[in-house]
Amino acid sequence: MSTTDLLFELGTEELPAGEIVGMAQALRKGITEGLAGQGLSFSHACDYSTPRRLAVLVMGLEIKGPDLNNSVVGPPLSAARDTDRQWTKAAEGFARKQGVTTAALDIVEEQGVERIVAHVSQKGANAASIIPEIVASSVAAMPVSKRMRWGRSRDEFLRPVQWLVLLLGKEVLPLSLFDLTSGRETRGHRFHHNLPVDIPSPAEYRETLRSARVLCDTNERRELIVQQVSALAKPGESVALAKDLLDEVTGLVEWPAALRGSFDEKFLEVPSQALISAMKTHQKYFHLTRESDGALIPAFITVSNIESQQPDKVISGNERVIHPRLSDAAFFFNNDKQTSLVSRKARLSSVVFQHQLGSLYDKTERITQLASEIASIISADQSITTRAAQLCKCDLVSEMVLEFPDLQGVAGRQYATHDGEMAEVAEAIESHYFPRFAGDHLPPSAAASAVALADRLDTLVGIFGIGQPPSGSKDPFALRRASLAVIRILIDQGKPAPLQALLEQAASNHTTELQPDTVATVLQYVLDRLGNWYDDEGIHISVLRAVLATEISDLFDIDLRVRALSRFSQTETAEHLAAANKRVANILAKANSSDDEQPDSSLFTEEAETALHKAVTAVDAAVEPLIAERNYRDALNELAKLRGPVDAFFEHVMVNSDKPEERQNRYRLLNRLRQLFTQLADLALLATTE
């Protein structure tokens, strides 16, 4: 089968850096799935992207799909022929629909019934004729955050489209989109090679653009930026290559050229986070630190989209641009220090947290009250916790945070330290925002953890309580992140802290009338997030479900049970006990038996039921203290001793005896067995290989 290569390039005005890669991947997926849907196989496909282009290259594409011979089964022969063995209207209609004559119909037998069948030949798809439609559909299906129009056209896209390239081998395929017609002509670098460039063939795409000073391979561009930026760090220095900044810079340039600049050392008096924020967020600069102590160095590295013949002038221009940004940060910092952090608290009453839930001042009061309760549970210092809770949101009305929102907490710590607050209070003000994202570190102290929990629990209860839970991708109050933070912090404390009780306390602090099922809803929402949490660690969801069936809400205790049960579930004994538990649960459910009375040993007639009763009694006595001290691993090992007696019971004992008294007594024995197992987790819910 003949093969060739396919190239499609969509040329645009500069695209938003954060959307380029996702759009290119979506375009590749749309084209490759379209080709596969037409039976056209290929060896490899990749996508390329720069600020001015999205491209897909498909290698080894079949130019014609395989011919297909399909057998389509029709109605039964009894309905296809009449008593004179002539074809009926049903048969004629079936043949017509399949594009064959009745003379071409065959008869086959399916499951004892004779049916008519049509053998239909289908020519393989011609790549050249179907590719334009596939490409057009893929472009239309690309995720575009905000569409715009340009010129007189009614077409819409993220940015104005300037050119189209569509090549199958060396031939141009006709495609009309956005009032443009496809060709083989692309564009070089906007400054270094601002000329049309012909693409001879798809396989020559990358190198042709390279000669026009465009690196279309995103990974190559990113790696080159890393090399260039790293090379500009001097001995003893470390450059911060944050992934999000690196990805954004990669999406801003087609021909990267890294340059190093500097700023006045006087700005180092400003908190380093503010300077970093100004450089990273506003200017897309990489900052440098000393390897010895991590202190910020008064220098930056910028990545230009032009290889200047006068780099000193480019560097000087960037230094002039960053100076007023850093001056602003210095001014805000010094100005903010003129007012104490605690005096800002009253101003929080003018900032709305949520119009039904009151102001930030109201939220701060609720956080303070709840944090105090949590502090007593997790053994945090009450005075430090209370003071940190009172001040934790005060920096939100500072000029620094209003200008640099990502400095919330960071600025608060600086101002608290300047005001002479205790170091532990200042630390808790900053770290009550931890973890800020998945994988971020947790609050380092119990006091900070208490404030962090209070803040998130108050938000969860409040937003759910007014009927505004997350929906789809919309989560304006970051409740998913808040719930995962609650999980991580509570488990990390290493102390019992029943989540339901904390939620009830949080709900009672709200003066707004909350929905009556708020606590139960939030509790279930948080517990549901545990599935993802443990899935990331390779723990099967059935293990969590088995533990949650006990209806405990202490996340620390849940975690201990899950980890012990996860290890136990890998054993052969666990599989046997899970199967036995399912059998017991089914027997009791069918018998509708919930008799909690103890079985009468005098009614036992089989040695196996006597042995099981003795084993259950012994294991119950051994397990009770182990569960009380949360030694779930040893408790499961004790339960494992029941495997033999349970297997023997089901092998030798007829549970549903003809004698009512004997049958009921055996139900009681099984019920006691079931209660013993479900103290730790419902083993019947464990996934088995059965």
H or E element that contains 289: strand 286-290
Q: Give tens-digit pLDDT for 386-433.
A: 999 999 999 999 999 998 898 999 999 999 999 999 999 999 999 999
Q: Is the pLDDT of residue 25 over 60?
A: yes
512 token code pair: 């707004």
Average pLDDT for the chain: 92
Instruction: Write the single-letter amino acid at 262.
Output: S
Domain(s) of CATH 1.10.3210: residues in the chain:
342-536
Residue 114 pairs in a beta bridge with 109
Q: What is residue 688's predicted lDDT score, i.e. its pLDDT?
A: 60
Q: What percent of the chain has pLDDT over 90?
A: 70
In order, the DSSP letters of 247-287 are HHHHTT-SS-EEEEEE--GGGGGS-HHHHHHIIIIIT-PEE
Identify the weakest region by mean pLDDT among 75-89, 153-167, 224-238, 625-639. 75-89
Burial class (CB in 10 A: 0-12, 13-18, 19+), 659: exposed
Cβ atoms of 53 and 159 closer than 8 Å: no
Q: What is residue 509's predicted lDDT score, i.e. its pLDDT?
A: 95
**3-class SS of residue 427:** helix
Q: What is residue 68's predicted lDDT score, i.e. its pLDDT?
A: 66
* Closest-CA residue to 38 (of 13, 55, 74, 62): 62
3-state helix, strand, coil in the chain (%, to 5): 55, 15, 30
Cβ atoms of 256 and 189 closer than 8 Å: no
pTM, rounded to two decimals: 0.76
Mean pLDDT comparison of 70-79, 130-139, 601-610, 675-684, highest-scoring range: 130-139
Strands of the sheet with 113-122, listed across from one edge: 68-76, 113-122, 106-110
Q: Is the pLDDT of residue 672 over 60?
A: yes
Question: What is the pLDDT confidence band of residue 689, given thresholds at 50, 70 and 90?
Answer: very low
CATH topology of domain 342-536: Hypothetical protein af1432 (1.10.3210)
Mean pLDDT of 489-509: 94
Q: Give tens-digit pLDDT for 200-240.
A: 999 999 999 999 999 999 999 999 999 999 999 999 999 99
* Closest-CA residue to 504 (of 487, 518, 489): 518
- d(Cα 581, Cα 676) in Å, to the nearest integer? 11
Q: Write down the residue that tokens 């505004």 correspond to.
A: 468
Identify the weakest region by mean pLDDT among 189-198, 260-269, 529-538, 576-585. 576-585
Q: What is residue 467's predicted lDDT score, i.e. its pLDDT?
A: 94
Q: What is residue 614's predicted lDDT score, i.e. its pLDDT?
A: 94
Cα 545 to Cα 270, 379, 531, 571, distances in angstroms: 50, 30, 9, 18
**How many DSSP H helices and E strands does the chain contain?**
25, 18
Q: Give tens-digit pLDDT for 540-594.
A: 999 999 999 999 989 999 999 999 999 999 888 888 888 888 888 888 888 776 6
Domain(s) of CATH 1.10.730: residues in the chain:
562-685
Question: What is the pLDDT confidence band of residue 122, given thresholds at 50, 70 and 90?
Answer: low
Mean pLDDT of 437-443: 90
Question: Which residues, other chains included, contact 380 with Cβ-Cβ below 8 Å and sequence gap of 6+?
Answer: 374, 445, 446, 447, 449, 450
Q: Is the pLDDT of residue 67 over 80?
A: no
Instruction: Write the single-letter amino acid at 346.
Output: A
Q: What is residue 690's predicted lDDT score, i.e. its pLDDT?
A: 44
CATH topology of domain 562-685: Isoleucyl-tRNA Synthetase; Domain 1 (1.10.730)
Q: Is the pLDDT of residue 289 over 90?
A: yes
